[in-house]
Amino acid sequence: MCGIVGYIGYRDAYPILIKGLHRLEYRGYDSAGVALINNDSKLSVYKAKGKVQDLEDFAKDKNITGTIGIAHTRWATHGEPSNANAHPHYSQSESLALIHNGIIENYTVLKAELTSKGYTFHSSTDTEVLVQLIEYIKSTNHCDLFTAVQLALNQVIGAYAIAVIDKSDPDQIIAARKSSPLVVGIGEDEFFLASDASPIVEYTNKVIYLEDEEIVVIRRGEEPKIVTISNVVSTPHIQELKLSLSQLEKGGYPHFMLKEIFEQPETLQSCMSGRINVEGTNVTLSGIIDYKEKFVNARRIIIIACGTSWHAGLIGEYLIEEYCRIPVEVEYASEFRYRNPVIFPDDIVIAISQSGETADSLAAIELARKAGAFVYGVCNVVGSSIPRNTDSGSYTHCGPEIGVASTKAFTAQVTVLAMMALAIAKEKGTIEKDVYLKILKELQNIPNKIKEILKLNEDIKNLSSIFTYAHNFIYLGRGYSYPVALEGALKLKEISYIHAEGYPAAEMKHGPIALIDNEMPIVAIATNNAIYEKVVSNIQEIKARNGRVIAIVSDGDETIKELADHYIQIPSTLECLDPLLSTIPLQLLAYHVAVHKNRDVDMPRNLAKSVTVE
Ligand code: M6R
């Protein structure tokens, strides 16, 4: 949460910073700000509540000159969204300006100490305390900015990615990270800083991903120097970015979310590419092959994740238990990390995350590793913190996901989990050859079947207009469709702000059935599977109470089409792969309801794409 950008070089910093903020706006968008050391050596800070566009409107007639600057787009943790709480924050003398992504947990103690020394504060943020502390150390120790930052960070408890500039030294940016991401871009006579590589890719493909507790000194005309907060010098590891600019643009779609929904046939191809052989008879995941003994001998698998990734984890549980016969538990990372769980050294922990930066997932990984478990990451963002903090893993390779509501990352996660289940089951000998081949073959048919479903976009758009009146929705599914019901409900609530609940269909009669009346839309995932008849009975029960049923059914279904008020017909597939198809109409339904309600689909209120605070 929160996006940070920095630039130092020979060009005007402001347009680069603003463009970078737009790219990072998915990380937080309640206020934004920029600090520049102007051509006349003045340090100017401009901030505005609202989106980056509001900052641009505010700054348009200000002095925005300068070839060095830092900028921030905020997701509030400490202090409401306001001009005062927006970053950058000045130090007391207004010589320093600092931006921060993370939380300084001991800020109240530090603030009290600084207040007693005469420092005054103009915001309710934890961040302002850090910039004041740096200035206090710099002036009392008569040291340079790097040393002051290093000493200050040694006093700080919490998470941070920071960047600081000092008007008395307009040739330098100092930045540091701990538990919040930070990337340095290396151009010709210019340097970039950002929370992820998206603001950088336009200018250079050479990057350094900072490690925890590293401080980087970026000075004009010199190579970046990296030193840890404990004063150990690190050798910068320059990597090449494999990201293209077109992946970061809407490509003619009105929203990133719609673009990402429509990309799914290609993203799933790319997720399987190089993993399933050309004959389509074998799946190889190098992360598993390298550690196959561990997987074969695993006592148990614990899946940890948050939000949509947790829903993918539930599908992973069904797949792994069914085909590998390994017991699986799926945990919210935020619960797991604080509940003193039993973790055995022969457990495997699978951490699923689109961003690879989710704070709770990272903390859960740390806990699992301390207990000696082998940790496997399933992530999308290459080079993010989770892949760098796990023993092995598989990328989902679905390209940058920018819409806050996760869509293509979910289907890619499920695809990776299906491939993992097949690969492990084959190694363990717990799957019949014909079943293995049948699933593998059908997995390769999924992208074309998704293309078929996407043709229903207009129908789903029309259907969604009927339901904009609703204040509540219920989503029902059983078996593999139960996590899909949870995911459908999450999609709807996060972008349309309509309350929605996902339930296992048979649980209805244990309580939620009381909610049903003729106004309640119920989305029933009723595709053709082993418990189809049971789902038919559940729909009967809802119809008997006048609920309005929107059913997702398989091609050729006649029974539910008769029963339901509305239906969306999708191609049939194997039960274990059904989530990859039944999810698509639910993504489209949520999208169109939100558009009908005029919601900010890609940047829904209160949310951020990457949840880097707990
Ligand atoms: O990056 P991650 O997959 O770790 O993120 C987890 C959740 O924050 C994320 O899935 C969130 O629930 C999405 N907004 C759902 O659409």
Residue 529 confidence (pLDDT) above 90: no
Quote the tokens at residue 448. Answer: 């074309």
pLDDT computed for residue 565 by the predictor: 94
Nearest CA to ligand 1 atom 7: 307
Residue 21 in any domain: the answer is: yes
CA distance 77 to 126: 9
Of the chain, the percentage scoring pLDDT greater than 90 comes to: 83
Ligand 1 centroid distance, CA of 405 (Å): 8
From 219, 245, 271, give the residue that closes a domain.
245
Shared domain check, 438 and 375: yes
Q: Which atom of ligand 1 is nearest to the CA of 386?
A: 4
Quote the tokens at residue 417. Answer: 């989990």
Distance of CA 359 to the CA centre of its chain: 10
CA distance 239 to 364: 27
Q: 184, 181, 141: which is closest to 161 by C-alpha?
A: 181
Shared domain check, 304 and 429: yes
Residue 368 in any domain: the answer is: yes
Residue 372 confidence (pLDDT) above 80: yes
250, amino acid identity: K
Residue 65 confidence (pLDDT) above 80: yes
Hey, which of 354, 389, 417, 609 would you mutate to test ligand 1's pocket, going by the most ligand atoms within 8 Å of its Cβ? 354
pLDDT computed for residue 108 by the predictor: 95
Q: What secondary structure does DSSP assign to 323-355, as a single string?
A: HH---EEEEEHHHHTTS-----TTEEEEEEESS
Q: What is the pTM of this model?
A: 0.84
Q: 230, 233, 198, 157: which is closest to 384 by C-alpha?
A: 198
Q: Which atom of ligand 1 is nearest to the CA of 407?
A: 16
Hey, which of 309, 385, 493 would you mutate to test ligand 1's pocket, going by the most ligand atoms within 8 Å of its Cβ? 309
Quote the tokens at residue 227. Answer: 């030193």
CA distance 528 to 454: 19
CA distance 161 to 359: 13
pLDDT computed for residue 432 by the predictor: 97
Nearest CA to ligand 1 atom 14: 405
Q: Is 112 exposed, middle or buried (0-12, 13-18, 19+ CB in 10 A)?
A: exposed
Q: Which atom of ligand 1 is nearest to the CA of 413?
A: 3
Whichever domain contains 276, its CATH number is: 3.40.50.10490
CA distance 217 to 598: 45
Hey, which of 256, 315, 355, 385 would you mutate to test ligand 1's pocket, going by the most ligand atoms within 8 Å of its Cβ? 355
Shared domain check, 276 and 241: no
Longest Cα–Cα distance of the chain, Å, equals 81
pLDDT computed for residue 243 by the predictor: 81
| pLDDT band at residue 183 using 50, 70 and 90 as cut-offs | very high
Q: Does 88 sit behind a cis peptide bond, omega within 30 degrees of 0 on the bond before it? A: yes
Shared domain check, 328 and 266: yes
Residue 4 phi, psi dihedral angles, 5° rounding? -125, 145
Cα dihedral 249, 255, 261, 265 in deg (nearest 10) = -40
CB 421 within 8 A of CB 324: yes
Residue 250 in any domain: the answer is: no
The domain in which residue 396 lies consists of 256-454
| pLDDT band at residue 610 using 50, 70 and 90 as cut-offs | confident
568 DSSP assignment? E
Residue 613 in any domain: the answer is: no
Shared domain check, 483 and 408: no
Quote the tokens at residue 362. Answer: 């990272």
Active site residues: 2, 609
Ligand 1 centroid distance, CA of 560 (Å): 33
Helix axes 127-141, 145-155, angle to 10 degrees: 130
What confidence tens digit (pLDDT) does each residue in 220-258 have? Answer: 999 999 999 999 999 999 999 888 888 888 888 999 999
Whichever domain contains 50, its CATH number is: 3.60.20.10
Q: Which residue shows structure tokens 């980056």? A: 52
pLDDT computed for residue 251 by the predictor: 84
Please report which helix (H) or strand (E) contains residue 426, including its range. helix 408-428
Nearest CA to ligand 1 atom 4: 353
Edge-to-edge strand ranges of the sheet holding 206-209: 43-49, 31-37, 68-74, 3-8, 191-194, 183-186, 206-209, 239-240
Ligand 1 centroid distance, CA of 562 (Å): 36
Beta bridge pairs of residue 303? 330, 350
Q: What is the average per-residue pLDDT within 439-453?
A: 97
What confidence tens digit (pLDDT) does each residue in 90-124 have? Answer: 999 999 999 999 989 999 999 999 999 999 999 99
Quote the tokens at residue 454. Answer: 């996407």
Residue 609 confidence (pLDDT) above 90: no
Ligand 1 centroid distance, CA of 410 (Å): 9
Mean pLDDT of the chain: 94
Residue 220 in any domain: the answer is: yes
Q: 412, 410, 436, 416: which is closest to 322 by C-alpha?
A: 436
Q: What is the average per-residue pLDDT within 60-85?
A: 93
Residue 569, classed as helix, strand or coil, is strand
Shared domain check, 59 and 96: yes
Q: State the pairing for strand pair 158-166/169-178.
A: antiparallel
Shared domain check, 428 and 403: yes
Ligand 1 centroid distance, CA of 57 (Å): 31
Beta bridge pairs of residue 568? 552
Contacts of 445 by beta carbon, 8 Å cutoff, 6+ apart: 573
Residue 146 in any domain: the answer is: yes
Shared domain check, 437 and 476: no
Residue 88 in any domain: the answer is: yes
pLDDT computed for residue 265 by the predictor: 96
Shared domain check, 338 and 225: no
Residue 613 confidence (pLDDT) above 80: no
Residue 494 confidence (pLDDT) above 90: yes
pLDDT computed for residue 508 by the predictor: 85
Ligand 1 centroid distance, CA of 202 (Å): 26
Give ligand 1 pocket residues (Cβ under 6 A). 306-309, 353-355, 358, 361, 404-406, 490, 494, 610-611
Contacts of 434 by beta carbon, 8 Å cutoff, 6+ apart: none
pLDDT computed for residue 439 by the predictor: 97
Residue 610 in any domain: the answer is: no
Contacts of 37 by beta carbon, 8 Å cutoff, 6+ apart: 43, 66, 68, 69, 165, 167, 170
CA distance 145 to 227: 13
User: What is the number of domains present in the chain?
Assistant: 3
pLDDT computed for residue 28 by the predictor: 86
CB 543 within 8 A of CB 563: yes
From 392, 427, 454, give the residue that closes a domain.
454
Residue 84 confidence (pLDDT) above 90: yes
Shared domain check, 366 and 512: no
Write out the E strands in 50-104. Answer: 68-74, 89-90, 96-104
CA distance 98 to 92: 12
CA distance 92 to 77: 22
Q: Which atom of ligand 1 is nearest to the CA of 404?
A: 14
Q: What is the average per-residue pLDDT within 267-281?
A: 92
Q: What is the average per-residue pLDDT within 27-32?
A: 90
From 425, 454, 483, give the residue that closes a domain.
454
Shared domain check, 381 and 343: yes
pLDDT computed for residue 242 by the predictor: 82
Shared domain check, 190 and 267: no
